[in-house]
Structure 1
């Protein structure tokens, strides 16, 4: 179920900071029409850290409603408090998501055995499939391969979003885990190679901008069509990097705004709009690949 191109969807907002649900609906349709294989609702790219609990769940519920079971919806439900992660996961289950994505607790720097206890507690609290999310660039703590192996023993923990960009890590994980444990890249620049080396897909920021290309890339790479996959990936390599010139989702929102897919590039503080030099840089990249005239 959770394979291929899964978009880490932005949460569109009006200039006053309120969620723009009409645009959110349009973005869901944009992705379904482009062949996106799944949606992550209110993850990092969806500004989970600045949406309070009730609003967080409302956005998730709306994405479930708008997708209407045409693609799986995975709710971002991570937190640095285990009780909050459980509450978010249970509330997301209540609005009909297909799974949850739970990030390594940030800031409090838990031990590896603390991570085992945390994720097992989350998985015990819901009947939904749980995807672990390792992104030490944001959380500081690294979810180590042996810890993933221990967590994979839980029947509800079915996969991992691995965002280190370390392809050697993938081979270590593959050597220690069963073939049915889902391994998804969380790093667009290395996602093609990740899939060619046995990964099952990507939870993608780039897919916000070029969903059809990312869907095709995933089809090629997971089918082992290396030459075609690498050639297609090369056409959007500059976009992968431009989207992270400033902290995510600053650049994806600016790009969607320039494409006319969002009426505003608004973010919630403490994030602000990109510097002019970075606006110019991504717009040039978008022109080069043909998504902006």
Structure 2
């Protein structure tokens, strides 16, 4: 597993009748693969995983693994309240054909350090799949601290972190303490270029769902040291990236996907589609971005391999 590059946290597409829309899902997946993303993440909060049945999750995973056909790794997110259910999913993930796991701390319970360590260890020792921990104390109230990482680095399946503390300096803290032992992927769209410049290995992205080529371009340009070109795209992108740090990020990003021609607005209750002034405001941001979409530089040669 190569924890580097752009990993879209894909949205789940629904029909107007609240069924999985696999045709719309694979159309968006095509756009991601065509843009050159480096992996796919399923079952995150952006994917409305908490509203999906186990059967629906399995269908999405099997569909994605079959469709991707080994071109990029497919990563399954685990966000559970019970350790035994998280272990069950980890144990069954290999049979589903995924390449790795993204793992949140225990859900709906503010576990202490000993409990979080025991939870992570139970899952990490139940599978041979590589694991990326999701460190998002802002939204999920549990921080994977440096000391906790220190206790976890002896577990070989724990290999990476989705860094979402909102503290750019944490990239440097992780590097200073663990070197390259823990791969670092930025998990906050509005901090992505900053963290990549400071040495993050990748970007778990949200607005990539609507703007895959621009996201991949920023990543590859930064890694090639072409900072001025990356910065110009990033400045254009920022008003759109800010849609990722709102409680309604699912509705906002699905609206952006729809406007970009690679998605639908359908969400699953309790989420509801945007209406009225809120929808108009968000659509103005999206349409302004589309109207001023920058020409992308050539991504060939050494940049293609970055």
Bin for the TM-score computed over the shorter chain: over 0.9
User: Aligned residue for 1:55?
Assistant: 56
Higher mean C-alpha deviation, range 22-31 or range 226-235: 226-235
User: Aligned residue for 2:304?
Assistant: none
Deviation at 1:230, TM superposition (A): 2.0
- Where does the alignment leave 5 or more consecutive residues of structure 1 unmatched? none
Q: How does 1:7-46 map to 2 (within 5 A)?
A: 7-46=8-47
User: Aligned residue for 1:220?
Assistant: 221
Q: 1:80 to 1:48 in 2, by over 3 A?
A: same
Q: Provide runs of 4+ in structure 1 moved above 4 Å.
A: none
Q: Distance in 2 between matches of 1:164 and 1:241?
A: 16
TM-score by length of structure 1 reads: 0.94
Higher mean C-alpha deviation, range 250-259 or range 154-163: 250-259
Q: How does 1:85-100 map to 2 (within 5 A)?
A: 85-100=86-101
Deviation at 1:118, TM superposition (A): 0.8
Q: 1:196 to 1:51 in 2, by over 3 A?
A: same
Q: Contact 1:200 / 1:222 at 8 angstroms: preserved in 2? A: no
Aligned length: 292
Q: Contact 1:201 / 1:222 at 8 angstroms: preserved in 2? A: no
* SS of residue matched to 2:29: helix
Q: Distance in 2 between matches of 1:212 and 1:152?
A: 34
Q: Distance in 1 between matches of 2:248 and 2:20?
A: 20
Is 1:286 matched up with 2:286? yes
Q: 1:136 to 1:211 in 2, by over 3 A?
A: same
* SS of residue matched to 2:274: coil
Q: 1:37 to 1:198 in 2, by over 3 A?
A: same
After superposition, the CA RMSD in angstroms is: 1.7
TM-score by length of structure 2 reads: 0.90
* SS of residue matched to 1:269: coil
